[in-house]
Structure 1
Amino acid sequence: MRIISSSFICKPLENGMEDIIQCQRNLQEIHLQSQRKLSDLELKMDNANVNNEAQLHQLKREMTNSKCRIRSSQSNFMR
């Protein structure tokens, strides 16, 4: 009977464990990348909302100023 060395038997198992560990690392990295992308998108949305709010406030100020000018010119016209 031929004896197979223990290193030969363990080698495929070692590679198998390394493959499993590498797969776990890859999955963790993919998860972290996805989380980063999600965080980036959320930040972009927040920034867009802030910019839109600022633009909206600016437009409201311009409308208020225009209304004041119109009222002022109407009152001057009525005199």
Structure 2
Amino acid sequence: MMTTRELIIQNEQGFHVRPAQLFVDKASEFESAVKVRNASGEEADAKSMLELMTLGLAKGASITIEAEGPDEKQAVEALAELIESKFGEA
């Protein structure tokens, strides 16, 4: 079984260094394998800052978060909340 969720990047600067670091930190709290896929199908490990940065996610970008493992639902939920909170940016 796998849990997935589609989201839109809403913060002004998109996935720059600070949000990417927050995302990696949050993803790393979970046992499940977590991946992020952009609209063109490129995939990155959500626990790898470098891989996430290569996706070039700007404001308005559509992404899919995919998690597989014992706490996949919690992982997807927590990461979705982080994105929907715009990473705490005003």
TM-score, structure 1 as length reference: 0.23
Question: Which has the higher relative contact order, 1 or 2, with Cα contacts under 8 A spaced 6 or more apart?
Answer: 2
Name the structure where strand makes up a greater proportion of residues: 2
TM-score, structure 2 as length reference: 0.20
**Larger gyration radius, structure 1 or structure 2:** 1
